[in-house]
């Protein structure tokens, strides 16, 4: 049986997979970026939990990351559309179906990357904070 952490990350990946862009999890950047854009979910760090006693609970603010990448002549508009669609997907259900207490994205810091012999890329890492509690740090 998967842990709560894995269940939440899988639900986030499923939410991203519903977007028009290709959504991967933990993969390396492929040689070609699809026309709709590319999203790579990185599991990130759960960080140090706050602990409450009676009942024992570990409260995490897990920081995952989404790498968002677009390529092409109109990459500024494509990037804006892609990041807005991520925001709308997260805002549609801030608890991922009740799996976590809250999910929120932080603002991306986009960069333009030159590609030798090809169209430039526009990419950013979008930090995602997942708030959840569990009775055991390994469950």
- Answer yes or no: is 35 within a domain: yes
Q: How many domains does the chain have?
A: 1
Question: What integer pLDDT is reported at residue 60 of this predicted model?
Answer: 97
**pLDDT at site 89:** 97
Taking residue 15's Cβ as centre, other Cβ atoms within 10 Å add up to 19
- Tens digits of per-residue pLDDT, 81-127? 999 999 999 999 999 999 999 999 999 989 988 877 777 899 999 99
Give the DSSP letter string of the chain.
---HHHHHHHHHHHHHHTSSSEEEESPPPPSS--TT-EEEEEEEE--PPEEETTTTEEEEEEEEEEEEEEESTTHHHHHHHHHHHHHHHHHH-TTTTTTSSEEEEPPP--EEE--TTSPPEEEEEEEEEEEEEESSTT-
Residue 120 domain flag: yes
Q: Would 139 be classed as within a structural domain? A: no
* Strand 38-45 versus strand 22-25 pairing type: parallel
pLDDT for 19 equals 97
Kindly state whether residue 44 falls inside one of the protein's structural domains: yes
Residue at 36 is within a domain: yes
Determine, yes or no, domain membership for 43.
Answer: yes
Distance CA 1, CA 62 (A): 20
Instruction: Determine contact, residues 82/105, Cβ cutoff 8 Å.
Output: no
Range of the domain at 96: 4-134
pLDDT at 117: 72
Lowest mean pLDDT among 4-13, 87-96, 116-125, 130-139: 116-125
* 23-81 per-position pLDDT tens digit: 999 999 888 899 899 999 999 999 999 999 989 999 999 999 999 999 988 999 999 99
Q: Is residue 115 part of a domain?
A: yes
CATH (domain of 33): 3.30.2000.10
The pLDDT assigned to 113 comes to: 84
Whether residue 89 lies inside any domain: the answer is yes
């Amino acid at each position: 049986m998967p842990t709560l952490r894995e269940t939440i990350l899988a639900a986030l990946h499923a939410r991203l997979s519903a977007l028009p862009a290709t959504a991967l999890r933990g993969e390396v950047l492929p040689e070609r970026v699809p026309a709709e854009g590319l999203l790579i979910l990185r599991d990130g760090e759960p960080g140090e939990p706050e602990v409450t006693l009676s009942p024992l609970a570990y409260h995490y603010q897990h920081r995952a990351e989404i790498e968002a990448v677009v390529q092409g002549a109109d990459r500024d508009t494509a990037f804006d559309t892609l990041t807005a669609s991520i925001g709308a997907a997260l805002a549609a259900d801030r608890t991922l179906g009740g799996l976590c207490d809250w999910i929120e994205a932080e603002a991306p810091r986009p960069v333009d990357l030159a590609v030798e012999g090809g169209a430039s890329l526009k990419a950013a890492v979008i930090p995602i904070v997942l708030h959840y509690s569990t009775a055991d740090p390994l469950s």
